Structure 1
Amino acid sequence: MTSKRRLLILVAAVLVLAGVGTGVVLHAAVRADRANQPHPGGPAVSAGKLTLAQKSRLMFVNAAAGPHRTAVASVPSADPGGGRTASGLKCARFYAAAGTGICLQSDPGVLKQSNRVLLLDAGLRTKRSFPLAGTPSRARVSPSGRFAAWTVFVSGESYASAFFSTRTSVLDTRTMRLTPSLETFSVIKDGRPYHASDINFWGVTFATDDDTFYATLNTAGKTYLVRGSLSRHEVTTLVENVECPSLSPDGTRVAFKKRVLSRTDLWHEYVLDLRTLRGTPLAERHSVDDQATWLDNRTVAYALPSDGDVKSTDLWRVPADGTGRPRLLVPAASSPAPL
């Protein structure tokens, strides 16, 4: 093959790759432009200033199509279905408590996904930023605002994947000391020290004492609710088949998703009494793949896929005692955080 022919082949290959790259960019731009077009009949969303100091508000990630999609937004707690105010902050996951917020961001990029977590002050301004080891999944802030936790998927795309690994980190927002992974904590299972190479944690929820937390531990194909101590760097298993726990404001119960049948991707929402370790199934009959949030001591909220939009979710609420029926809380929304 002559040098001239090699050069022509090389130039042609470069042009083909450039065309593919341009096509990818243009396709992404078209999809983004469509997402930025408000849908007729969708919720009213307007830009405005939000702070974590506002009272009687429900904050969430806006999932309505339009320029404010994925922006942190809020509505009055007394009128959750009304017009929403959107900030300039965009997140894949969000949570806030006591003037502290965290925002998990994910930028797919053209060649490589970029993920990071932002620690926010009461004005939603970034105080610190940390890189994430994978795709954002769960986020929580302790009731005092001192601790923040987040979970990411290191591989795979969801808890429904046959092969996935999670990494859960905890940040002390006062000292900025970061625990990169809960897998460094000691595990007490069935009253004995437990060691395994397949341990995963996800779905942290904090108690009011700034030490106790609850989370899901996964090992040997089973999940467990664990109670942990931040000061002792230790967790203890409590009960099996508990995922994504959420502690009630009074600290007596945990809302969680329970796998309906082994090796299925269906979860039912339950509330566990921590004194008796008895679980009560809630009235929601759809599969809930979310970490529920307590709106108060009587009601939990969670996200379900929206009808007709696989990339959007709606927020629903249901009584925490197993009575009543589910009711729509906020359409086109996720990651609720009551202020």
Structure 2
Amino acid sequence: MSAGRRLLVLLVAVALLAGAGTLAVLHAAERARGGRTSGVPVVSGPVSLGAGAGGPRLVFRTMAWGAQRDRLAAVPLAHPDAVRTVADGPSCLRFHAAAGTGICLQAVPGLVQDGYRAVVLDAALHEVRHYDLAGIPTRARVSPSGRLVAWTVFLSGDSYAGTSFSTRTSVLDTRTWTLQENLEDDALTVDGAPYRAPDVNVWGVTFADDDRFYATVATGGRTYLAAGGVAGRTLTTLHGNVECPSLSPDGTRVAYKKRVPGLPEDAPWRLYVLDLRTMAESATAERRDVDDQALWLDDGTLAYALPGDDGTDLWSVPADGSGAPALLVRAALAAAVVH
């Protein structure tokens, strides 16, 4: 047998073993769940990111076990417990949308290991363009007009809980297709002074409009809320101990996860809200660890992911600190409100 044929046989064997291993893991997981399915009612059908009848919709990555897991699904925002419509479209690890533009961060299966890419979607979930990613997808956002999209990937590490990780955040203009590959190249001001350091990380963009945005900047063992400008390529810190910000629809508040002293190292966060007019922060009624970039359902309500039987569920809580957390959508992740 020639060397080339032996190599081909080896590669095929590796692929078959990997597939068998994946099936064994899935079977074991199903057995561990007692053979249960998620019990989430679903129906196949079209999912649109554009305007339509029926009022606002919540579009998200469905986590329900089965062939449709990781597809995009939709429910009426007013009735999130309704039967979800699952699209026969792309599978996404992270997703967000606004004004008919979607961003889907997805895995690309490989022979040895998966790769990743960012796919820009139109209102019908058709691919417009895609970009290869240098790491594991973790955050995605679209500006209110649908013009700008942003994504964050882990270059090293796979969790924000520790300190040994590196990220890269990119911003794409979907009109000109200009890509700013790394926001760490922006001119950074920390505590009022120009700042440069090799350990700067930027992640978790949230847009105010087609120029202004907010993001987390980390350096020197600290994290900050920073205000950014796309045109000027600038970042300016505003407030400390802020991660994964999310701007309210009225532009006056930022929801974020805050590291609270005394909590476990692997579960250090609580969900907070910062008033940008006064810089006063307040805790929400959610007392569990929230490792997510929260979503504003409206000007008074936040949604966020927590671990669940199918991986993650979406929960909601009032943004003003009142009330109590409530289960919003089972078996769901990475949501967007589509008007």
Q: TM-score, normalised by structure 1?
A: 0.90
User: Separation in 2 of the partners of 1:194 and 1:58?
Assistant: 40
Instruction: Please give the secondary structure, in 2, of the residue aligned with 1:328.
Output: strand
**Ranges in structure 2 where 5+ consecutive residues have no aligned partner:** none
User: Separation in 2 of the partners of 1:40 and 1:12?
Assistant: 42
Which residue pairs with 2:179 in the alignment? 178
Instruction: Please give the secondary structure, in 1, of the residue aligned with 2:112.
Output: coil
Instruction: Please give the secondary structure, in 2, of the residue aligned with 1:183.
Output: helix
- Please, which of 10, 16, 25 is the counterpart of residue 22 of structure 1? 16
Note the C-alpha offset of 1:39: 4.0
Which residue pairs with 2:220 in the alignment? 220
User: Separation in 2 of the partners of 1:16 and 1:151?
Assistant: 36
Give identity over the alignment, percent. 52
1:282-338, Cα deviation, whole Å (9 max, x unpaired):
0001000000000000001000000x45xx100000000000000000000001101
User: Separation in 2 of the partners of 1:217 and 1:58?
Assistant: 29
Task: Map 1:192-271; keep pairs closer than 5 Å.
Answer: 192-208=193-209, 210-261=210-261, 264-265=265-266, 266-271=268-273
User: Separation in 2 of the partners of 1:130 and 1:194?
Assistant: 30
Instruction: Please give the secondary structure, in 1, of the residue aligned with 2:176.
Output: coil
Which residue pairs with 2:42 in the alignment? 45
1:58-82, Cα deviation, whole Å (9 max, x unpaired):
1000001011100000001111012
Which residue pairs with 1:78 in the alignment? 78
**CA spacing shift, 1:278–1:18, aligned 2, 3 Å:** same
Name the stretch that deviates more: 20-29 or 79-88.
Answer: 20-29
User: Separation in 1 of the partners of 2:28 and 2:177?
Assistant: 40
User: Separation in 2 of the partners of 1:82 and 1:34?
Assistant: 30
CA RMSD of aligned residues (A): 2.4
1:52 touches 1:123 (CA, 8 Å); kept in 2? yes
Amino acid at match of 1:48: G
1:35 touches 1:67 (CA, 8 Å); kept in 2? no
Q: TM-score, normalised by structure 2?
A: 0.90
1:45 touches 1:68 (CA, 8 Å); kept in 2? no
**CA spacing shift, 1:36–1:86, aligned 2, 3 Å:** farther
Which residue pairs with 1:322 in the alignment? 321
1:158-215, Cα deviation, whole Å (9 max, x unpaired):
112441100000001110000000011000111110010110000000003x111000
Q: Which has the larger radius of gyration?
A: 1
Note the C-alpha offset of 1:113: 2.0
User: Separation in 2 of the partners of 1:77 and 1:121?
Assistant: 21
- Equivalent pairs, count: 326
Which residue pairs with 2:336 in the alignment? 337
Note the C-alpha offset of 1:56: 1.4
Name the stretch that deviates more: 248-257 or 78-87.
Answer: 78-87
User: Separation in 1 of the partners of 2:283 and 2:27?
Assistant: 42
Instruction: Please give the secondary structure, in 1, of the residue aligned with 2:199.
Output: coil
Amino acid at match of 2:303: A
**CA spacing shift, 1:252–1:315, aligned 2, 3 Å:** same
1:92 touches 1:103 (CA, 8 Å); kept in 2? yes
2:216 touches 2:224 (CA, 8 Å); kept in 1? yes
